[in-house]
Amino acid sequence: MKIAVLGAGAWGTALAISLAARHRVTLWSRDSAQVAAMAAIRENRHYLPGCPLPEGLAPSADFESALQADVALVVTPLAGLRETLARLARAPVPPPFLWACKGLEAGTGLLPHQVVAEVGPGLQSGVLTGPSFAEEVARGLPAAVTIAAADGAFARDIAQALNSERLRLYANDDLVGAEVGGAVKNVLAIACGISDGLGLGLNARAALVTRGLAEITRFGLALGARRETFMGLAGMGDLILTCTGDLSRNRRVGLALAGGDALEAITRNLGHVAEGVSTAREVARRARALEVDMPITDAVCAVLEGQLTPAAAVAALMAREPKAE
């Protein structure tokens, strides 16, 4: 197959490396200097250092040529999804596509498939999501993720076509559930980073992961998701990975907040996107409108907005009235 990966950050590069073992892959970046450097040194030194680009992977700054493919993967941060899709939709023959960004769009609070419905209507598409740190996928370590699409047959076909012995792909037709799992786990990873950074222990972390899953589930059900999706890779799988794995940028944001660093400096020094930072506010806003109770998300928002210190946010969570589980 010919595959276009649109977006050459850590995750786009890792997916391109993994897929290039069996397919011809073009890795598009909007930054032509980055493309020239990747072509010369066969490595994406800023976003994924130490992971060689294999032969079947061609870096490119030519969006239109890259799109002459059987399938495209949009792997920009969520903030770039709308403009990238608008360009894709203008192609003479737009290919079917997957997006791999996680979150709710800043300002609109839309899930990615709702952005897709506004800019890329009528095209076959779905989300690729689940527990998958870029560095591990690029090194060829085993991972399993989900492709979810409203059209379950499309999800199954594309999962079959892209599946490999390194990256196992499951299919799902619960698009909303898959997206909610991937979006909200980043907010909860910030919470776990805060808790671990404050030295609150393993019991506290297990409580946050478990009650966090309850928040994800309540929010997802209110948006029309299926409960069982949250027990799968896109739900519990990604939540556990991101809340406990130090490769997570969102978790690292929480750790640094607990250490007293300012949010602006943390995100500047990270060198990568941490989607939970902007998604937290959007989840809290939509949850309020839906009358869904999300106390951990609210506490993360209060810390991110500087209304509470990390320690005060934990104290506020623990001071809540006992309730039925």
Ligand X SMILES: O=C(CO)COP(=O)(O)O
Ligand Y SMILES: NC(=O)C1=CN([C@@H]2O[C@H](COP(=O)(O)OP(=O)(O)OC[C@H]3O[C@@H](n4cnc5c(N)ncnc54)[C@H](O)[C@@H]3O)[C@@H](O)[C@H]2O)C=CC1
Binding site for ligand Y (CB under 6 A): 7-12, 29-31, 47, 75-78, 80, 83-84, 100-103, 132-134, 272-273, 275
Nearest to 225 by CA among 259, 193, 182: 182
Give CA separation, 222 vs 25, 60, 209, 213, 237, in Å. Answer: 38, 41, 20, 14, 21
> Site for ligand X (CB under 6 A): which residue of 5, 241, 296, 299?
241
Interface pick for ligand X out of 132, 146, 172, 279 (rule CB under 6 A): 132
What are the residues whose beta carbons fall under 8 Å from the beta carbon of 290, sequence distance 6 or more? Answer: 219, 222, 223
26 binds ligand X (CB under 6 A): no
Strands 24-28 and 143-148: unpaired
**Among ligand Y, ligand X, none, partner that 253 touches (CB below 5 to 8 angstroms by kind):** none
Binding site annotation covers 209? Answer: no
Query: Which value, in Å, is the radius of gyration of the alpha carbons in the chain?
Result: 19
Question: Residue type for 81, please?
Answer: L
If one asks whether residue 281 binds ligand X (CB under 6 A), the answer comes out as: no
How many C-beta neighbours within 10 Å does residue 311 have?
13
Q: Which of 23, 82, 113, 185 is an active site residue?
A: 185
User: Minimum Å distance from CB 186 to ligand X?
Assistant: 6
Q: How far apart are alpha carbons 22 and 164 in whole angstroms? A: 8
Q: Alpha-carbon distance 159 to 172, whole Å? A: 10
Residue 127 site contact among ligand X, ligand Y, none (CB < 5 to 8 Å, cut-off depends on kind): none
* Residue matched to tokens 């800019």: 119
Minimal distance, residue 282 CB to ligand X, in Å:
16
Burial 146-157 (b: 16+ CB within 10 A, else e): bbbbeeeebbbb
**Residue 58 belongs to what H/E stretch?**
strand 57-60
Q: How far is the CB of 132 from ligand X (least distance, A)?
A: 5
185 has catalytic annotation: yes
| 11 assigned ligand-binding residue | yes
Closest approach, Cβ 209 to ligand Y, in A, equals: 18
Quick one: what does residue 167 bind among ligand Y, ligand X, none, with the CB cut-off 5 to 8 Å set by partner type? none
> Is 125 an interacting residue with respect to ligand X (CB under 6 A)?
no
Q: Was 249 annotated as part of a binding site?
A: yes
Q: Which residue numbers belong to the known binding site for sn-glycerol 3-phosphate?
A: 102, 130, 132, 185, 238, 248-250
Q: Which residue numbers belong to the known binding site?
A: 7-12, 30, 47, 102, 130, 132, 134, 185, 238, 248-250, 273, 275
Residues near ligand X (CB under 6 A): 102, 131-133, 186, 189, 238, 241-242, 248-250
- The residues assigned a catalytic role are 185
